[in-house]
Amino acid sequence: MKRLWGYLKEFKWFIIVGPLFKMFEAGLELLNPILVAKIIDVGVYSQDWNYIIQIGIYILMLNVLGFVFSVISQKCSAKTSVGVATDMRKDLFSKVTTFSHAELDKFGTASIVNRLTNDISQVENAVGIFMRMMIRVPFLLVGAFILSLTINKKMSLVFLVLIPVVSIILFFYIKKTTPYFKKIRTKLDNISKVTNENLSGTRVIRAFNKQQDEQERFEQVSEDFTTTSIKISKMSALLNPLIYLLVDFATIAILYVGGLQINIGSLSQGDVIALIDYVSIITMSMLLVSRIIVIFVRTSASLHRINEIMDTEPSIKNVPGIRHVNNPNFNEIMEFKDVCFNYTGSQNTKSFIKNLSFKIYPHQTIGIIGGTGSGKTTIANLMTRFYDPTSGEILYKGRDIKKYSIEQLRGEISIVQQRSTLFSGSLRENMCLRENASDEEIIEALKISQSWDFVKDWKQGLDYQIMAGGKNVSGGQMQRLTIARAIVGHFDMLILDDSSSALDFLTDSNLRKALKQLDTTLVLISQRATSIMDADLIIVLDNGDVVGMGKHEDLMKDCEIYKEIYLSQSK
In a domain, 52, yes or no: no
| pLDDT higher at 427 or 318 | 427
Residue 294 has pLDDT above 80, yes or no: no
Mean pLDDT on 248-252? 79
What are the C-alpha distances in Å from 10 to residues 16, 20, 77, 79, 419?
A: 12, 18, 13, 11, 42
Is 507 in contact with 445 (CB distance < 8 Å)?
no
pLDDT more than 90, % of the chain: 3
pTM above 0.75, yes or no: no
275 vs 33: CA distance, rounded Å: 8
Mapped onto helix, strand or coil, the DSSP state of residue 393 is strand
Other Cβ atoms within 10 Å of 239 Cβ, number? 19
Whether 164 and 294 map to the same domain: the answer is yes
| pLDDT tier at 534, thresholds 50, 70, 90 | confident
Other Cβ atoms within 10 Å of 198 Cβ, number? 17
In a domain, 325, yes or no: no
What local confidence, expressed as pLDDT, does residue 545 receive? 82
Q: List residues bridging with 159 in a β-sheet.
A: none
Is 202 in contact with 211 (CB distance < 8 Å)?
no
Residue 176 has pLDDT above 70, yes or no: yes
What are the C-alpha distances in Å from 564 to residues 127, 204, 497, 569?
A: 65, 31, 21, 9
What local confidence, expressed as pLDDT, does residue 90 receive? 92
Bridging pattern class, strands 334-341 and 353-360: antiparallel
What local confidence, expressed as pLDDT, does residue 1 receive? 66
| pLDDT higher at 85 or 434 | 85
CA angle 168/174/177 to nearest 5° reads 140
Whether 459 and 561 map to the same domain: the answer is yes
97 vs 103: CA distance, rounded Å: 10
Whether 446 and 357 map to the same domain: the answer is yes
Domain boundary (257, 275, 310) is at: 310
212, HSE (Cβ side, Cα atoms, 13 Å):
1
Mean pLDDT on 506-524? 86
Whether 294 and 202 map to the same domain: the answer is yes
Q: List residues bridging with 540 in a β-sheet.
A: 369, 548
Mean pLDDT on 60-89? 89
In a domain, 143, yes or no: yes
What are the C-alpha distances in Å from 158 to residues 36, 152, 165, 525?
A: 21, 11, 11, 80
| pLDDT tens-digit series, residues 326-367 | 455 678 889 999 888 887 655 454 557 888 888 889 888 899
In a domain, 47, yes or no: no
In degrees to the nearest 10, what's the CA dihedral of 15, 17, 20, 25?
Answer: -120
In a domain, 416, yes or no: yes
425, HSE (Cβ side, Cα atoms, 13 Å):
9
Question: What's the one-letter identity of residue 401?
Answer: I
341 vs 356: CA distance, rounded Å: 9
Is residue 80 classed exposed, middle or buried when 0-12, 13-18 and 19+ CB atoms within 10 A define those classes? buried
Phi, psi of 522 (to 5 degrees): -120, 125
In a domain, 15, yes or no: no
In a domain, 491, yes or no: yes
The least confident of 266-275, 408-417, 504-513, 543-552 is: 266-275
Q: Is 345 left (phi over 0), alpha (psi -120 to 50) or beta?
A: left
| Pick from 502, 495, 485: nearest CA to 367 | 495
Mean pLDDT on 46-67? 84
Mapped onto helix, strand or coil, the DSSP state of residue 541 is strand
Question: What's the one-letter identity of residue 268?
Answer: S
Q: For the chain, how many residues are written?
A: 571
247 vs 253: CA distance, rounded Å: 10
Full residue range of the structural domain in which residue 397 is found: 334-570
Is 426 in contact with 462 (CB distance < 8 Å)?
yes
502 vs 165: CA distance, rounded Å: 71
Whether 402 and 282 map to the same domain: the answer is no
Residue 423 has pLDDT above 50, yes or no: yes
Mapped onto helix, strand or coil, the DSSP state of residue 102 is helix
Whether 417 and 300 map to the same domain: the answer is no
Other Cβ atoms within 10 Å of 121 Cβ, number? 13
315 vs 334: CA distance, rounded Å: 22
41 vs 331: CA distance, rounded Å: 101
513 vs 507: CA distance, rounded Å: 10
Residue 537 has pLDDT above 70, yes or no: yes
497 vs 436: CA distance, rounded Å: 24
What residues contact residue 266 under an 8 Å CB cut-off, 6+ apart? 152
| Pick from 315, 339, 313, 340: nearest CA to 396 | 339
What local confidence, expressed as pLDDT, does residue 345 receive? 57
Domain boundary (310, 343, 371) is at: 310
Other Cβ atoms within 10 Å of 160 Cβ, number? 10
- Return mean pLDDT, the chain: 82
133 vs 291: CA distance, rounded Å: 11
Whether 121 and 194 map to the same domain: the answer is yes
292 vs 133: CA distance, rounded Å: 8
What residues contact residue 183 under an 8 Å CB cut-off, 6+ apart? 228
Whether 550 and 421 map to the same domain: the answer is yes
| pLDDT tens-digit series, residues 362-387 | 888 899 998 877 888 888 889 988 88
| pLDDT higher at 92 or 418 | 92
| pLDDT tier at 320, thresholds 50, 70, 90 | low
Whether 278 and 363 map to the same domain: the answer is no
What local confidence, expressed as pLDDT, does residue 222 receive? 87
Whether 222 and 305 map to the same domain: the answer is yes
249-281 residues labelled b (16+ CB within 10 A) or e (exposed): ebbebbeebbeebeeeeebbebbbbbbbbbbeb
Mapped onto helix, strand or coil, the DSSP state of residue 429 is helix
Whether 385 and 433 map to the same domain: the answer is yes
How many domains does the structure of the chain reveal?
A: 2
| pLDDT tier at 219, thresholds 50, 70, 90 | confident
In a domain, 262, yes or no: yes
Mean pLDDT on 541-550? 85
| pLDDT tier at 205, thresholds 50, 70, 90 | confident
Is 528 in contact with 507 (CB distance < 8 Å)?
no
The CATH number for 93's domain is 1.20.1560.10
| Pick from 162, 156, 154, 158: nearest CA to 264 | 154
Whether 212 and 291 map to the same domain: the answer is yes
The CATH number for 342's domain is 3.40.50.300
